[in-house]
Amino acid sequence: MPRQARKKSSSGIYHIILRGVNKEAIFHDREDKEKFLATLKFYKNVSEYELFAYCLMDNHVHLLIKEVSDPLQIIIKRFSSSYVIWFNKKYMRCGHLFQERYRSEAVENDRYFLSVLRYIHQNPVKAGIIKRVGDYQWSSFSEFIGKPTFVNVDFVFAFFADERFLAINLFSKFINEINDDKCLEVKNQFTDSELVKYIITMGLDEVGELQSYSKEQRNAFIKTLKSLDGVTIRQVERVTGITRSVISRA
């Protein structure tokens, strides 16, 4: 069956999801995330695109982006290929890192733009990794409340107020609101057996070992599992045998 053509956005703005191939991690440590952001920033100058939001999870990335000079597919290919070359060299691996076909949706109006903006920043909250949006280091939220580096915060603030301090406060309040925003979702969730296999690749001989880990080791492990697309606290409880309350607090 031929691939369905991507919907062209009349605004030039898209919500993008990049996923690891076979649901594998695309970031293993802080250096990986910093390198991805540096690559994103570098190619922003090359392709002259606008970036309005980002969120890096362990095995996927959300971007809110506007094509200006180069078409979207060229933009994605440039920065993703550059990161993959660096990643493969660091970890002495070869082959694909990202799924061959990234997912995208057109953002055609202001209301949906704001919904996607909030959805992206709340991704780690809804995954159960942190309690508040501002507690997550690897999203663009810090660019809005601190010193922006390469995110177009002025475009976003214009939706809230002319005066910057007020705009920041209204933006922060909006981003943290409880909501039922429905945006582009990550499909192909882990089955229990797939999650078990993934856990084994993280260095365990069997899943039961996790319960013998120290609190710090166990919590770090649980945070990684909760960051995976489509993995729920209930599923982590079912697969690992660790109670839901412990998983929620990790």
Which of 2-11, 82-91, 144-153, 180-189 is least confident?
Answer: 180-189
End-of-domain residue from the set 124, 147, 176: 176
Mean of all residue pLDDT scores within the chain: 88
pTM above 0.85, yes or no: no
How many domains is the chain built from? 2
Q: State the pLDDT at residue 145.
A: 93
Same domain as 227, residue 156: no
Same domain as 99, residue 66: yes
Helix, strand, coil percentages for the chain (3-state, nearest 5):
50, 10, 40
128: domain CATH number is: 3.30.70.1290
Same domain as 145, residue 23: yes
Residue 248 sits at the vertex; the CA angle it makes with 247 and 250, to the nearest 5 degrees, is 65
For residue 67, the 8-state DSSP code is -
* pLDDT(3) > 60: no
pLDDT tens digits for 132-143?
999 999 999 999
pLDDT bin (cut points 50, 70, 90) of residue 2 is very low
* pLDDT(39) > 60: yes
Same domain as 60, residue 144: yes
Helix axes 72-90, 30-47, angle to 10 degrees: 150
For residues 160 and 170, the answer to whether their CB atoms sit within 8 Å is yes
Domain span at residue 154? 13-176
For residues 121 and 140, the answer to whether their CB atoms sit within 8 Å is yes
Over pLDDT 90: what percentage of the chain? 53
For residues 7 and 105, the answer to whether their CB atoms sit within 8 Å is yes
**What average pLDDT score do residues 194-208 get?**
80
Same domain as 224, residue 196: yes
Over pLDDT 70: what percentage of the chain? 93
**What average pLDDT score do residues 37-60 get?**
95
Q: State the pLDDT at residue 186.
A: 53
For residues 207 and 141, the answer to whether their CB atoms sit within 8 Å is no
Does any domain span residue 183? Answer: no
Which of 71-75, 187-191, 209-213, 214-218 is least confident?
Answer: 187-191
Does any domain span residue 97? Answer: yes
